Amino acid sequence: MPLDATHRLDLRARNHPAYWGFVLHRLSGIGLALFLPLHFWALGQAIQGEAALDGFLRWTDNALFKFAEWGLVVLLALHLAGGLRVMALEFLGWRARQKDLVAASAGFALLIGLLFLFHAG
């Protein structure tokens, strides 16, 4: 069913930094939710005993897992920063500096990821 001129989808909002802040917040939340079953599985290895946990820890001691660990920290920082941005919007109202809040959220997340990367190395 084609849309007429009065019901046309306006895509201009998708180029706004606030939209991308929204997208990053949602995607980081999905990524963290997908991580949780793996985390619970890893915790289950500790319940099975020291040998099972040691085997799991040896299996995770490679560059791929170190990179994934860094990605997890960035996801956590993105989600935290995005949540703080949403709370600021809720409690402080809309501001003309909305783009600055989005940039500050993304910068905060990347800074936390870099700090983790340098500390882990």
- pLDDT for residue 108 is more than 90: no
pLDDT band at 10 (very low <50, low <70, confident <90, very high): low
Confidence (pLDDT) at 12: 62
Residue 17 scores a pLDDT above 80: no
| pLDDT in the model for residue 32 | 92
Amino acid at 7: H
**Residue 65, CA distances (Å) to 10, 36, 61, 101 in order:** 41, 15, 7, 31
55 vs 1, more confident = 55
Region 64-81: mean pLDDT is 87
Quote the percentage of the chain above a pLDDT of 90. Answer: 7
- CATH value of 17-120 in 1.10.10.10, 1.20.1300.10, 3.40.50.280, 1.20.1050.140: 1.20.1300.10
pLDDT at position 20 is: 81
| 8 Å CB contact between 59 and 90 | no
Q: What is the pLDDT of residues 18-47, one digit of tens each?
A: 788 888 889 999 999 999 888 888 888 888
Segment 97-101 shows an average pLDDT of 73
**Domain layout of the chain by residue ranges:** 17-120
